[in-house]
Structure 1
Amino acid sequence: MNILWGLNVIAVKMAVMAIAPLTAGFLRQLIVLVVCASALRIVPGRMRLLTILGILSGGVFYVAINFSLAISDNVGALAIAGQLGVPFSLLLAILVFRERIRLPRIAGIALSFGGVVLLVFDPAAAREVPGLALTAIGSFIWAICSLIQRYLIGVPVLTIYAWIGFWGTITLGTLAWFIEPVAMRAIPDLPLRTLGWVAFSALGSTVIGQGSMSWLLQRHPVSIVTPLTLAAPVVSVFAASWYFGTPLTVLMLSGGAVAMLGVAIVTIRTARAGDTP
């Protein structure tokens, strides 16, 4: 699961370079919809939340993330900034659920944001500020979606992703048709290699990766499973550096280490709290 999530940043970058950001996102969500279509069904009392989640998670999130990767070269820096979703989620939980936190998680939030800020001072990553900003926006949207999913407990995972694929296909398809008409018309002529990058994201990262996470959480405590996912951004940073030949400077590694330390503190402490009834 960590490997699939870690390598996904390469697949998405290759897809948005070869196709176009919105069109690539549309194809990804279309594949998710096709794979999960058998689980698409009306869930009484939950359709408003499923619709909001689908538009945000399947549509708006990928607008921010795909454009961030399309305009950036240092993919590793974006992978680090993408971890801001964890502290954002905690901050939203504090605001919405009035969740109380103590000093360790407060320190974790500060370290998470501080580590990303350090990237701005790295010459190798400083020019990626627009991409980092879009990634931060995407992380905030992801945090909102994680909050919504708290209200969808009991809804089958495949049904949730079927609706995400459904609304994502509609949202991104509509935007792409008006903004990227040339790319949309060129879909039938796309080579299999290019479609393979999109399929890897849809099947590997979304269906298999998220499905594996759900399978693990049904069988093991949150405090054991969640911290193990911290390996994914580490895989992303080093894999992206190797594949695209981007430098890993001391300042970037330091900022990444500080950010990941903060994310680790928040993740582990929050996971332990989630194990209590």
Structure 2
Amino acid sequence: MNRLRTPLGPLDTAVAVAMIFAWGFNIIAMKIIVGEAGALPSAMLRQLIVLVVCLPFLRIVPGRMLALTGFGLLSGACFYLAVSWSLAVADNVGALAIAGQLGVPFSLILAVLILKERIHWRRIMGIILALSGVALLVFDPEAGKEIYGILVTALASLIWAFGALIQRGLNGVPVLTITAWVGAMGSLAMVPATLIGDPAGFAAIPDLPLSAFGWVAYAAVVSTILGHGAMAWLLQRHDVSVIVPFTIPTPVVSVAAAAAWFGTPVTPLMMLGGFIAIVGVGIVALRTAKVDGPVPEATKASNVPD
């Protein structure tokens, strides 16, 4: 049953802010893990931890297993492999954080092409702004050096967008069950992929410093499980249109955190491109939330991007 919108309380706001920073700082954790372990082992370790933590929630959901396994393979294997790959080939991860915002407009474009959804001029303008903001990065001397990483990040965003379409068919499935299947399918795919693609990296996992395992635990537990769990909790209590604006500042936190931690430059053109992209994503997200309106209780917990 749909509910009327309720105001945010201090606890809700605190959880939302914690969620923003959990996701925003994740780019630091992922870059360090990839640097220590390599792209394939880091993606594998993350999914193994997600699986272990969420294993009690792994269960067969009749009528949803095709969607769960497909979503798990896309989000648990393909998406994180592309993200790790992009971090492995790039130094300025702030540019990647901006390019990572393409998932929202990509998902809307796919909804129009595949699901034949109709959109109006405001969301079309949002898509154009988001794409234009990322395109500006190519003309920046610093961000332009990361064109390969930006393209791989765009691929990761496209994979995420396909996963988001599949996730629409998972309404009513508990978010921790979805996350458990992401960990399970991601682990099933990434373990053999790492053994074949990077056997030396796989063999070197026991020799990784404890700090590396700490960072991968942060990515798996704090960002993936707790971050998305916080989103699900907030969506159970409030309408989508109330919560969506809290996700928009995440790339700003990521860019600032990367600049502070790694000393990566943030140029005026990067700031302009990032601002334009975030405005575009904000328009798409906010207009989509208003179009969707209030969502049923069972639906809210599962409408969380991985």
Which TM-score band applies after superposition, normalised by the shorter structure?
over 0.9
Taking the TM superposition and a 5 Å limit, the aligned residue runs for 1:185-264 are 185-264=203-282
The residue that corresponds to 1:30 in the other structure is 48
| 1:114-142 C-alpha deviation (Å, 9 max, x unpaired) | 00000000000111011000000000111
Q: Alignment partner for residue 52 of structure 1, among 63, 66, 70?
A: 70
The residue that corresponds to 1:117 in the other structure is 135
Aligned-residue offset at 1:24 = 0.5
TM-score, structure 1 length as denominator?
Answer: 0.98
Aligned mates of 1:112, 1:254 — CA distance in 2: 12
Mapped contact 2:36–2:208 kept (Cα < 8 A): no
- Amino acid in structure 1 at the alignment position of 2:164: S
Q: Alignment partner for residue 156 of structure 1, among 146, 151, 174?
A: 174
Identity level (%): 55
SS class of match (2:90) = coil
1:104 aligns with 2:122: yes
SS class of match (1:161) = helix
Aligned-residue offset at 1:276 = 5.3
| 1:249-270 C-alpha deviation (Å, 9 max, x unpaired) | 1111011111111011111111
Q: Alignment partner for residue 286 of structure 2, among 265, 268, 273?
A: 268
Aligned mates of 1:75, 1:98 — CA distance in 2: 35
**How many residues are matched?**
277
Aligned mates of 2:50, 2:117 — CA distance in 1: 33
The residue that corresponds to 1:20 in the other structure is 38
The 10-residue stretch of structure 1 (265-274 or 91-100) with the greater mean CA deviation from structure 2: 91-100
TM-score, structure 2 length as denominator?
Answer: 0.89
SS class of match (1:127) = helix
Q: Alignment partner for residue 93 of structure 1, among 89, 111, 135?
A: 111
Aligned mates of 1:189, 1:246 — CA distance in 2: 28
Aligned-residue offset at 1:188 = 1.8
Q: Which runs of 4+ in 1 moved over 3 A?
A: none
- Amino acid in structure 1 at the alignment position of 2:212: T
- Amino acid in structure 2 at the alignment position of 1:97: L
Aligned-residue offset at 1:205 = 0.7
Aligned-residue offset at 1:31 = 0.4
1:71 aligns with 2:89: yes
SS class of match (1:252) = helix
| 1:110-169 C-alpha deviation (Å, 9 max, x unpaired) | 000000000000000111011000000000111111111110111111111111100101
In structure 2, do the counterparts of structure 1 residues 52 and 157 end up closer, same or farther at CA, with 3 Å as the change threshold?
A: same
Aligned mates of 2:249, 2:271 — CA distance in 1: 15
Aligned-residue offset at 1:97 = 2.5
| Structure 2 residues without counterparts, runs of 5 or longer | 1-18, 296-306
Aligned mates of 1:67, 1:276 — CA distance in 2: 37
SS class of match (1:123) = coil
The 10-residue stretch of structure 1 (88-97 or 48-57) with the greater mean CA deviation from structure 2: 88-97
